[in-house]
Amino acid sequence: MVTSTTMDHDIYLFHQGNLRYAYQLLGAHMEQQNGQDGVRFTVWAPNAVKVNVVGTFNDWDGRQHPMEKLNENGLWSTFIPDLQKGTIYKYEILTPHGHLQLKADPYAFSSEIRPNTASVLHPLGHYEWNDQSWMNQRKETNLYESPISIYELHLGSWKNIEPEVFYTYREYADMVIPYVKELGYTHIELLPITEHPFDRSWGYQATGYYAVTSRYGTPDDFKYFVDQCHQNGLGVILDWVPGHFCKDQHGLRRFDGEPLYEYSDPMKAEKSQWGTLTFDFGRNEVQSFLMSNAIYWLKEYHLDGLRVDAVASMLYLSFGKEDGEWQPNEYGGSENLEAVSFIKKMNEAIFEEVPNVLMMAEESTSWPLVSAPTYVGGLGFNYKWNMGWMNDMLKYMEMDPIHRKYHHNLITFSLFYAFSENFVLPISHDEVVHGKKSLLNKMPGDYWQKFASLRAFLAYMYAHPGKKLLFMGSEFGQFDEWKDLEDLDWELLNFEAHASTKQYMSDLHKLYKDHPALWEMDHKEEGFEWVDPNNYEQSIVSFIRNSRADDQLVVICNFTPVVYHDYKVGVPTEGVYEEIFTSDAVQFGGSGQMNEMPLHTTSIPWQGQGQHVTMTIPPLGVSFLKRTSLLEEDKS
């Protein structure tokens, strides 16, 4: 409950842009006043002439429950007795232009099921969590030196009852969690589940920033989903969209009759390529709204991180615009200085309030120090999506192998900047939709070569420095690109190639998690060393991954369908090496060109290393070697 003393202080912080828990001040809250149970409604509408609370409880008659203006900065509030959980309501706002408009509560915790648009009264704090063990463990985890492999998930098209008829969060928990756990992922990342009016926006055009979408159930249902993930050892990340919002009449657009949450300057407000509006990052109350919203999801729903969408669209005034459609900042540049300042302030607040969470920026440009702390000039995120690696590798993998030797730099270039940020390697929903084809179907060649190339690509991805993210369906070789109104093609698992690909992902994750060399030093140069990056003629690269305990893996990747016998590979230490994993194993659908016998080093330098082994290189395959013992003659 907010007392009068704390309320005055919170109001001050709200208007200063520094209120980190604005959702406790604004919105609809069940509390007691003068010994009477009821609901306190508070809304920010500085341009409104009058604001009333309307709903089913008063037959939508605004005259019955007018709100009182608390201050000149536009906060309105009222207390209505005897309202119950589930009450449906909106704000009736008389604009300066004399129009009456109905608006959903920007701070509502729940909403009606589309196409209805009213807010629904739902108190926070009544759910009993059972994830204390996970939350305690999270405090002690070093995120940078831990394995992170993320399963990107769109609930409604992972599996549904029929198109646009969905299961509940609780039902999804019972289906999704065992599946993702069996595959070996460490985290689930959900496409936005904030309330949104249009299914096919996938949640990226929201109206209710504090409301978990009612498509799949209630706030408590979603808390159950997160709780069950944590009890099963899975973290949960939410795709979060502070860059823009949709223009639907019941939402934030011209909330009190004038631009309020959006910029008043159309050049800054309009995101024409998406048909949305940009938040006014320079307005203090909007900063409190967004900063509190990020903290809300992390605190109230125990989420383990946020993937922040379209950061580049926030950073640049010129994003997606032609000359003449934007104006430079006061220094003549294209940077949105207000957004830059807000992003830094937001990240500082988040890590003070909720330490050890993931703040991942989808930032598609070369903006420096995205994942560096603000005190060294960074934006304050702790991870950045590596869009450059993604674009280069997908371009490379789509080529016929015969042409790959002319574009060898696409494999190697990412290592020039791999340690400039804390990177996530993403193969997201954006890469398997709108005619881009599924990850499997991007691969050239015949049926066998497509699956072999997919396995090789995934093995290379998991061996490359950086945390991992893969969109649903790729784990079993979905042939069709993502169909957002249907569910995944689960029937494919009845076919051997797809079933073995799913098993491959499970085994690849086991390899990944069992070997610290593949994740412990992801963000340090000493965690990676080239053996041979230059063999473009055969489209083969080899490298070493290191751990802090000097536990090394040698990785050899062949991106052509040619088998090479008696191939020399430089290795760092003499001894006996074993092939501990190959993407070409028969059980995965491979050709079985394996190195089943131990590989003894020869003390002749090769490829910059002091010794080498001679091995078979599988077609369109990746091999992982590990030294398992000293040379036989050195054993005592």
How do residues 488-522 score in pLDDT, each as one tens digit? 999 999 999 999 999 999 999 999 999 999 999 99
Q: Are 181 and 232 in contact (CB under 8 A)?
A: yes
Give which of 596, 456, 580 is closest to 514, Cα–Cα. 580
The mean per-residue pLDDT over the stretch 532-543 comes to: 98
**Whole-Å CA distances, 396 to 149, 211, 462:** 23, 41, 17
Query: What's the confidence (pLDDT) of residue 164?
Result: 85
pLDDT exceeds 70 at position 632: no
Confidence of residue 3 (pLDDT cuts 50, 70, 90): low
The mean per-residue pLDDT over the stretch 196-213 comes to: 94
The mean per-residue pLDDT over the stretch 454-472 comes to: 98
Query: What's the confidence (pLDDT) of residue 4?
Result: 64
Query: What's the confidence (pLDDT) of residue 551?
Result: 86
User: Whole-prediction pTM value?
Assistant: 0.96
pLDDT exceeds 90 at position 2: no
pLDDT exceeds 60 at position 172: yes
Q: Are 518 and 585 in contact (CB under 8 A)?
A: no
Confidence of residue 11 (pLDDT cuts 50, 70, 90): very high
Query: What's the confidence (pLDDT) of residue 6?
Result: 78
**Whole-Å CA distances, 157 to 166, 237, 406, 471, 545:** 9, 18, 39, 12, 37
Which positions are annotated as active-site residues? 309, 362
The mean per-residue pLDDT over the stretch 365-392 comes to: 97
Share of the chain above pLDDT 90, in %: 95
pLDDT exceeds 50 at position 635: no
Q: Quick one: the chain helix, strand, coil %, rounded to 5?
A: 35, 25, 45
Q: Are 383 and 363 in contact (CB under 8 A)?
A: no
164 versus 13: the higher-pLDDT residue is 13
> CA-to-CA distance for 203 and 211, rounded, in angstroms?
12
Structure tokens at 90: 């909106």
Mean pLDDT over the full length of the chain: 96
386, amino acid identity: N
Share of the chain above pLDDT 70, in %: 98
Query: What's the confidence (pLDDT) of residue 636?
Result: 42
28-79 confidence digits (pLDDT tens): 999 999 999 999 999 999 999 999 999 999 999 999 999 999 999 999 999 9
pLDDT exceeds 60 at position 5: yes
- Structural domains of the chain sorted by starting position, each given as residue range(s) with its CATH number in brackets: 4-120 (2.60.40.10), 149-446 (3.20.20.80), 447-519+526-636 (2.60.40.1180)
Query: What's the confidence (pLDDT) of residue 338?
Result: 97
Within 10 A of 571 (CB to CB), how many other CB atoms are there?
25
The mean per-residue pLDDT over the stretch 101-114 comes to: 97
The mean per-residue pLDDT over the stretch 585-598 comes to: 96
Specify which residues 532 forms β-bridges with.
542
Q: What are phi and psi of 487, to 5 degrees?
A: -95, 175
**What is the sign of the dihedral through the CA atoms of 193, 244, 255 and 287?**
positive
Query: What's the confidence (pLDDT) of residue 125?
Result: 82
